[in-house]
Structure 1
Amino acid sequence: MSQKHRERQALIVIDVQEGFEDTTFWGMSSNPDCEQNIAVLLSEWKTHDLPIIVVRHDSQSPTSPLHPDQPGNRLMSFVSETVPDLLVTKHVNSAFYGDPGLHEWLQKQDINRLVICGIQTNMCVETTARMAGNLGYDVTVALDATRTFDLATTIPGLGTITHTADELMKVTALNLQAGGFARISATKEITATMS
């Protein structure tokens, strides 16, 4: 891979925060290898001196483990030890609606290729990947470097809908790749292209 090619590929690490360890609040999670795979990606990006963007969710709900007044708002230690090229804080699902402006920063850096990982697969990761695809970025989601939680809700006319975390990861992969928003890949496949 040429140096110019490398410089234009950024890693976006979304919401890898201590609050997501609270299974009492979130419920059952998927993919126990998520954090290990994120650490591998971070190490690879550092080795190649590639841009790293860390995103933190500052929930506006006082009862959320991700609220700024809660200890769960902190980034997990292996991420907080990383000095990112950009730290984005947000209150909504998309990292493109955070502060400072992600899209503007990427344009100034002439970056058009993104690898996205983090928590939750079907929420902030999927939303950020969809928006990135719509904005014209070449997007890869490292699915095995994401995880999510079982989800259930009652919807008028449809009744109660329940999906396991594993099912939601598969649906996100289908939505993103079949919808043309992003390619779905694995950590090993991504790092293999960087040597």
Structure 2
Amino acid sequence: MTQRALIVIDVQESFRSRPLWRLIDNPDIADDVNRLVDHARDRDDLVVWVLHQEPGTGGAFDPESGHVRYLDGLRAPAAGEPQLRKTSHNAFTTTNLQQLLTEHGIGELAICGIRTEQCCETTARLGSDLGYQVTFVIDATATNPIAHPDAPDGLTPEQIAADPRTLPASAVVERTVFALSGRFATVATVDQVVGSGVPAAIV
């Protein structure tokens, strides 16, 4: 049987520490990810934990900030579950993730985390290109509205939300679903993964 891995990407306090968290589309993401973690452990699937860091930047992703830690309410990694720190958007390029997956005989991935269209989507795309069968658990990801490229820097979340040119989080998620489905991943919900409606990618 092909081995499976759940990749938990950047579910960390760095995001909650920033004002933009007020616009996050899934503030309860820890609960959704916890369901996936419990399910993966029950099946003896590998759970891989990934945090994003930007050393020396002085921002929320600088380890010196104290925010590069798992989101409060998230399950703690169990003994033996790999914990990686990355500095690229995808979880492969600046870590030994692929080596770990190879060592464990992994052929299928389930992706969840923050942010939907950024670190999660790029990991799914690269994972697919590397030959993994990928399930993207859409409602166990989170993102926020994206300001227009011409919007000035330094806008408050409220100003971003009020700008009619802003791409709302719902549209960000929709675009990710359209971009990944049938190309890079099977898009599924948490209920489908943990319940009877599990898509073929992870049964």
Shorter-chain TM-score category? Answer: 0.7 to 0.9
Paired residues of 1:27 and 1:150 also in contact (CA < 8 A):
no
Deviation at 1:22, TM superposition (A): 2.7
Q: For 2:69 and 2:103, how far apart are their aligned partners in 1?
A: 28
Q: Is the counterpart of residue 153 in structure 1 residue 145 in structure 2?
A: no
Aligned to 1:105: 100
Q: Is the counterpart of residue 168 in structure 1 residue 172 in structure 2?
A: yes
Q: Is the counterpart of residue 75 in structure 1 residue 85 in structure 2?
A: no
| Equivalence map 1:108-127=2 (5 Å) | 108-127=103-122
Q: For 1:64 and 1:183, how far apart are their aligned partners in 2?
A: 34
Paired residues of 2:31 and 2:74 also in contact (CA < 8 A):
no
Q: The residue matched to 2:64 in structure 1 has which SS?
A: coil
Q: Which moved more, 1:125-134 or 1:104-113?
A: 104-113
Q: TM-score, normalised by structure 1?
A: 0.86
Q: TM-score, normalised by structure 2?
A: 0.82
Paired residues of 2:116 and 2:142 also in contact (CA < 8 A):
yes
Instruction: Give CA deviations for 1:33-68 in whole Å, capped at 9, x if unaligned.
Output: 422110100111122221100001012462421211
Q: How many residues align?
A: 185
Deviation at 1:170, TM superposition (A): 1.1
Q: For 2:128 and 2:13, how far apart are their aligned partners in 1?
A: 28
Aligned to 1:34: 29
Aligned to 1:130: 125
Q: For 2:146 and 2:32, how far apart are their aligned partners in 1?
A: 23
Identity, % of aligned positions:
29
Deviation at 1:161, TM superposition (A): 5.1
Q: For 2:144 and 2:133, how far apart are their aligned partners in 1?
A: 27
Paired residues of 1:28 and 1:150 also in contact (CA < 8 A):
yes
Q: Which runs of 5+ in 1 are unaligned?
A: none
Q: For 1:175 and 1:161, how far apart are their aligned partners in 2?
A: 21
Paired residues of 1:154 and 1:161 also in contact (CA < 8 A):
no
Between structures 1 and 2, the one with greater helix share: 1
Aligned to 1:181: 184
Q: For 1:72 and 1:80, how far apart are their aligned partners in 2?
A: 17
Deviation at 1:17, TM superposition (A): 0.3
Aligned to 1:12: 7
Q: For 1:132 and 1:154, how far apart are their aligned partners in 2?
A: 28
Question: What RMSD over aligned residues (CA atoms) do the two structures have, in Å?
Answer: 2.3
Write out the 4+ residue segments of structure 1 that deviate beyond 6 Å after TM superposition. Answer: none
Q: For 2:65 and 2:194, how far apart are their aligned partners in 1?
A: 35
Aligned to 1:86: 82
Q: The residue matched to 1:10 in structure 2 has which SS?
A: strand
Paired residues of 1:33 and 1:144 also in contact (CA < 8 A):
no
Q: Is the counterpart of residue 62 in structure 1 residue 57 in structure 2?
A: yes
Deviation at 1:75, TM superposition (A): 1.1
Between structures 1 and 2, the one with greater strand share: 1
Aligned to 2:154: none
Q: For 1:164 and 1:43, how far apart are their aligned partners in 2?
A: 31
